[in-house]
Amino acid sequence: MGRPPCCEETGVKKGPWTPEEDEKLMAYISKHGSGSWRALPKHAGLNRCGKSCRLRWTNYLRPDIRRGKFTEEEEKLIINLHSVLGNKWSKIATHLPGRTDNEIKNFWNTNLRKKLLQMGIDPETHKPRTDLKYLLNLSQLLGTAINNNNLISPSWSHAGLLGLQQPDLAHQLVQIQLVQNLLQLINGNSSLLSNMQSVLPLLGNHNSVINNPIEADTTNGPNYTFPINLRDQELHASPALFPSAPSESGQDISESGTDREGASDQQVLGINNSISRTTSHEMNQADDENPFGATSSGNFNQMEGRSNQQSPPSTVFDAWEKLLEDDDASDSYWKELLDLTSTSTSPILW
DNA sequence: AACTTACTCAACCGCTTCGAA
DNA sequence: CTTCGAAGCGGTTGAGTAAGT
């Protein structure tokens, strides 16, 4: 037998509160305080359960509630707090005076979540997205960027922040994003690797894309040989690329446990590495799956209209191949790219 | 103008935590 | 230590509204 509902009394009203009910509740609490919520409705002359009264008070009637749009600062704070605390809305709310946990939760689910997704950040982990669908989209964009220098959308207008020439910018930023996501993938997401392995055959013949990318023996998990050798010092020097790598103190804040409580205020209020690694907050263009503002189908149409055009890469591995074919893809180029990735992202983002 | 779709947010449900007995 | 009631919390729902067709 389950637990009986909190409002056992029959005839207890549910649903939206009327102004009269609000009046009664406010009048009672301002005179007597909330006290026992269970007893409150009877004393206040309300035909509601105590729980409903408490919720109405804490989420709506409380005099210190701040209404209106969330400011940009609040937005950033919520994202930072969420990266440390997870879905602990009430704890997050304690850092935002006047905001209720319910309000923050709603704001997160309806706005911030989408925003992060569009920016290529997984809203659950606050790490670059590594879902296959997103990576495939990214690789298509990269291919288009390589093949079509005209792909410069208005959202790249902050190029100056990077000190880059516009024609190179889309190319480089897409590469950075792809590298980040791939490294994230290589670094820890073995289940995704398995998924990719199973999906690859469905995408066509890509075995030639990278020499021997997948070893035949995968009994101990997929064994990928990626075409670049990342030296240890690069890994450590680039926390933005390797978000799950241990911090200096030997702790990975964002992965210290399923419950991310216990974070210091510095951790909570400071800029969070895992958030600030994204390339641009202006990437949230129309297409949810496409943070670069150009739909892949549109780009393909554009490409098909051009004669003697190479096909756009259709997988992450194709994108890798493209990168490697690139004249610029020398060792020094990769080093520059990685340096850029690790040093330039924060000021761009926030 | 009518209809559909997408979005927002107040409110509810049910599980967990807390504290008194 | 255990039990039990109350409060707290997070996930979900659905009515109202705005935007799009």
Q: Are residues A40 and A114 in the same domain?
A: no
Chain C bases closer than 7 angstroms to a protein Cβ: 5-12
Secondary structure letter of residue A11 according to DSSP: T
- List own/partner pairs for A63-71 with CB under 8 A and 24 or more apart: A64/A97, A64/A98, A65/A98, A65/A99, A65/A100, A66/A97, A66/A98, A66/A99, A70/A99, A70/A107, A70/A111
Is any atom of strand C within 7 angstroms of residue A106's beta carbon? Answer: yes
pLDDT, mean of residues A72-83: 88
Nucleic chain C contacts, protein chain A, residues 38-97, CB cut-off 7 A: 38, 50-51, 54-55, 87-91
Q: Are residues A163 and A225 in the same domain?
A: yes
- Name the range with the highest mean pLDDT among A178-187, A201-210, A299-308, A316-325: A178-187
Q: How many domains does chain A have?
A: 3
Does residue A129 or residue A220 have the better pLDDT? A129
Query: pLDDT, tens digit, for every residue of A159-217?
Result: 333 334 444 555 555 566 666 666 665 555 444 454 444 434 433 333 333 333 323 33
Q: Which domain holds residue A34?
A: 19-61
Reply yes or no on whether the pLDDT at A57 is more than 60: yes
Is any atom of strand C within 7 angstroms of residue A102's beta carbon? Answer: yes
Is any atom of strand C within 7 angstroms of residue A281's beta carbon? Answer: no
Is any atom of strand C within 7 angstroms of residue A256's beta carbon? Answer: no
Q: What percent of chain A has pLDDT over 70?
A: 34
Residue A2 covered by a domain: no
CA–C1' gap, A51 and C6, in angstroms: 10
Burial class, A243, CB count within 10 angstroms (exposed 0-12 / middle 13-18 / buried 19+): buried
CA–C1' gap, A219 and C11, in angstroms: 39
Q: Are residues A237 and A330 in the same domain?
A: yes
Q: Are residues A144 and A54 in the same domain?
A: no
What is the overall mean pLDDT for chain A?
57
**pLDDT at site A47:** 87
Residue A240's pLDDT band (cuts 50, 70, 90) = very low
Residue A261 covered by a domain: no
| Segment holding A127, helix H or strand E | strand A127-128
CA–C1' gap, A40 and B15, in angstroms: 23
Query: pLDDT, tens digit, for every residue of A117-166?
Result: 888 888 888 888 766 666 666 666 666 655 554 443 433 333 333 334 44
Contact indicator for A338, A329 with CB cutoff of 8 Å: no
H helical segments located in chain A: 19-32, 40-44, 50-56, 72-85, 89-94, 101-107, 113-118, 132-147, 159-162, 166-188, 190-199, 232-237, 265-269, 273-276, 296-304, 316-325, 331-343, 345-349
Residue A268 covered by a domain: no
Question: Hey, what amino acid is at A311?
Answer: S
Listed by range, residues with Cβ under 7 angstroms from strand B are: A 2-3, 5-7, 13-17, 51-52, 55-56, 59-60, 102-103, 105-107, 109-111
Q: Are residues A220 and A317 in the same domain?
A: yes
Q: Are residues A45 and A82 in the same domain?
A: no
Reply yes or no on whether the pLDDT at A95 is more than 70: yes
